[in-house]
């Protein structure tokens, strides 16, 4: 993550936050919120992660705001991880991938979140386009929402959980890549520590991914930087710590947004430095 803050900040302009900021719940409020976050943070954090749903709810005008935010954030040097959680089959998955992973697409991003729960092979069009254009994917593996356990903790015939099967498929794709492959996993920072019977994945599986691990759940969802070593173990250096509401609630003041992001970055750096070999 270079000299930038080792942090991904979500851009989640949901209705409650617009109200907290004193903004109207329309496209005007959406645009002001989004521009403020991008202007405050795009030149200092490693990545920004806009959640597509909060823009789609305003139709084409909302998507226009998202297009500008993605372009402005990338122009300022931040990586953009578009959080769309797309998952489908065949030509539909291809169309989703083309929307976010091709260089000439209006929403062209550095990485896209995708869902493997129509079968990992259904992601092939997105995998192929990501590789062709030097982009990345973050595949949902072990998410921070409690409902995810219904599917992700289920045990397959070979004894692996579904989540671990997803991680192992990613490891196959990233095998031999240096320093890391471009296919990553979403693994929540709020999960039980490694070794806990409820952890659902092993340290081996996390490390073997050989790709980035997007870790939502810091801040409002209850996880702190100090939890990261317990959840990720030897794969800690692969983690992209992600915080959203805890930073966004500091707005609309740009200085407060930057100060809160800097505080989180300092806590993450201290953890990473403590884990350095």
| pLDDT per position as a tens digit, 217-248 | 999 889 999 999 999 999 999 999 999 999 99
Out of 35, 68, 85, 230, the active site residue is: 85
Predicted local confidence at residue 198, as pLDDT: 87
Predicted local confidence at residue 146, as pLDDT: 87
The stretch 80-92 carries a mean pLDDT of: 98
Predicted local confidence at residue 1, as pLDDT: 44
Q: Is 2 exposed, middle or buried (0-12, 13-18, 19+ CB in 10 A)?
A: exposed
Predicted local confidence at residue 41, as pLDDT: 98
> In the predicted model, is pLDDT for residue 255 greater than 60?
yes
3-state SS, residue 251: coil
Domain boundaries, the chain: 1-81+244-277
The stretch 16-23 carries a mean pLDDT of: 98
- Average pLDDT over the chain reads 96
Nearest residue to 201 (alpha-carbon basis) of 241, 163, 155, 230: 163
Q: Rounded to an integer, what distance in angstroms lies between the CA atom of residue 267 and that of residue 139? A: 26
Predicted local confidence at residue 129, as pLDDT: 98
| pLDDT per position as a tens digit, 130-176 | 999 999 999 999 998 889 999 999 999 999 999 999 999 999 999 99
Phi, psi of 68 (to 5 degrees): -65, -40
Q: Rounded to an integer, what distance in angstroms lies between the CA atom of residue 69 and that of residue 50? A: 8
> In the predicted model, is pLDDT for residue 275 greater than 90?
no
Predicted local confidence at residue 46, as pLDDT: 98
Q: What percent of the chain has pLDDT over 90?
A: 94
CATH homologous superfamily of 1-81+244-277: Aldolase class I (3.20.20.70)
Q: DSSP characters for 24-56?
A: -SSHHHHHHHHHHHHHHHTTTEEEEEEBTHHHH
Q: Name the residue with tokens 């991008």.
A: 38
Please state whether the peptide bond connecting residue 179 to the residue before it is cis, i.e. omega within 30 degrees of 0: yes
Predicted local confidence at residue 277, as pLDDT: 54
> In the predicted model, is pLDDT for residue 196 greater than 60?
yes
- Catalytic site includes residue 49: no
Predicted local confidence at residue 274, as pLDDT: 83
pLDDT greater at residue 198 or residue 140: 140
């Amino acid at each position: 993550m270079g000299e930038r803050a080792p942090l991904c900040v979500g851009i989640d302009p949901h209705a409650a936050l617009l109200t907290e900021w004193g903004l109207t719940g329309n496209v005007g409020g959406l645009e002001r919120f989004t521009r403020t976050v991008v202007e405050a943070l795009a030149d200092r954090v490693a990545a920004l992660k806009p959640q597509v749903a909060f823009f789609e709810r305003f139709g084409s005008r909302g998507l226009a705001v998202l297009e500008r935010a993605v372009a402005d954030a990338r122009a300022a040097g931040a990586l953009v991880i578009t959080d769309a959680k797309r998952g489908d089959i065949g030509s539909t998955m291809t169309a989703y991938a083309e929307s976010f992973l091709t260089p000439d697409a209006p929403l062209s991003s550095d990485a896209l979140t995708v869902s493997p729960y129509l079968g990992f092979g259904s992601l092939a069009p997105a995998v192929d386009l990501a590789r062709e254009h030097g982009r990345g994917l973050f595949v949902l593996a072990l998410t921070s929402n409690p409902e995810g356990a219904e599917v992700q903790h289920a045990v397959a015939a070979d004894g692996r959980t579904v989540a671990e099967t997803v991680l192992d498929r990613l490891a196959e794709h990233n095998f031999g890549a240096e320093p890391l492959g471009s296919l990553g996993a979403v693994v929540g920072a709020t999960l039980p520590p490694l070794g806990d019977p409820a952890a659902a994945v092993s340290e081996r599986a996390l490390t073997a991914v050989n790709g980035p691990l997007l870790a939502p759940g810091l801040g409002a969802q209850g996880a702190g930087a100090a939890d990261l070593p317990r959840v990720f173990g030897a794969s800690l250096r692969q983690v992209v710590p992600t915080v959203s509401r805890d930073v966004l609630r500091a707005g609309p003041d740009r200085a407060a947004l930057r100060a809160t992001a800097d505080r989180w970055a300092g806590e993450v750096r201290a953890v990473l430095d403590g884990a350095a070999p």
